[in-house]
Amino acid sequence: MDLSDKVAVVTGGSRGIGRVVSQRLAAMGATVIINYVSRSDAAEETVASIQSAGGKAAIVQFDVADAEATQQSFKEILSDHGKIDILVNNAGITRDGLLVKMKEGDWDLVLDTNLKGAFNCMKAVSRSMMKQRSGRIVNITSVIGFTGNAGQANYAAAKAGLVGLTRSAARELATRGITVNGVAPGYIDTDMTKGLSEEVTEKILSEIPLGVMGDAGDVAGAVAYLVSDDARYVTGQFIHVNGGMFMG
């Protein structure tokens, strides 16, 4: 799986799953553009880890929920690197709460980041991918987008929306040699899941046939496959990386 001469953009590439995806694509030879929104220290650490392993990486800060900033940033990436071959829409957040109590702001923020953010990036990149008649887009959705989850109506709606967005874009872009797929992680050990109580963690683990949490590398492996030549005939699909928690 050789990605030499390929340019990849990973949103939220600075921490957690995005960091390991970035490291994996760089190890496969790609130049990886790492996006983050607020924690420059984490982004710098990720780039340093890639460079010290002999890989190529750069940082671009923007908020994926901001359409104008996203458009402008992709313009700059295209002008600096000449092309974008791979886009991984990974940036995501949670603002959990029961539906009856959920603040409108928490609904909007999660939808704007997790769903509109992916739309903004896909829109910003697809014209250039269409011109070059090739491209790979991978959207990181979630098991929750398929099953729903009490306390995560906003997150589940955004992730389920991402499923529809992925399939529609796959249909629109296929004739231009662009594939659009998704990876749906289950319960992965990152900052996002660190805050869960022992009780909630125990309950989730009891629902996972493999009995353990996944790690970011498990998700990165699926992304690596989808952006490789091995997946050239795969589009509009989802790889579930969840220890058997949901069998789609």
Which parts of this chain interact with ligand NDP (CB under 6 A)?
Answer: 11-12, 14-18, 35-39, 42, 63-65, 90-93, 113, 117, 140, 142, 185, 187-188, 190-193
Q: Which is nearer to ligand NDP, 89 or 179 (CB)?
A: 89
- Token match 């990152």: residue? 190
Task: Report the nearest approach of ligand NDP to the CB of residue 37 (Å).
Answer: 4
Q: Which is nearer to ligand NDP, 16 or 55 (CB)?
A: 16
**What are the backbone dihedrals phi and psi of residue 38, each rounded to the nearest 5 degrees, phi first?**
-130, -25
- Rounded distance, CA 121 to CA 230, Å? 24
Q: Which is nearer to ligand NDP, 113 or 235 (CB)?
A: 113
Among residues 144, 141, 135, which one has the least CA distance to residue 232?
Answer: 135
CB 200 within 8 A of CB 149: no
Whether 233 is catalytic is no
Q: Any residues with CB less than 8 A from the CB of 232 and at least 6 apart, and which? A: 179
Task: Report the nearest approach of ligand NDP to the CB of residue 103 (Å).
Answer: 18
Q: Which is nearer to ligand NDP, 11 or 179 (CB)?
A: 11
- Rounded distance, CA 122 to CA 126, Å? 6
Going by their DSSP bridges, the two strands 238-241 and 178-185 should be labelled as parallel
Task: Report the nearest approach of ligand NDP to the CB of residue 173 (Å).
Answer: 21
Residue 59: other Cβ atoms inside 10 A? 16
Instruction: Give kind and range of the element (H or E) at residue 20.
Output: helix 16-27
Alpha helices in 133-190 (DSSP H): 143-147, 153-173
- Rounded distance, CA 119 to CA 98, Å? 26
Task: Report the nearest approach of ligand NDP to the CB of residue 42 (Å).
Answer: 5
The CA distances from residue 169 to 110, 123, 137, 155, in Å, are 21, 10, 9, 21
Q: Which is nearer to ligand NDP, 31 or 90 (CB)?
A: 90
Question: Of 155, 187, 225, 233, which one is the catalytic site residue?
Answer: 155
| Residues marked as catalytic | 155
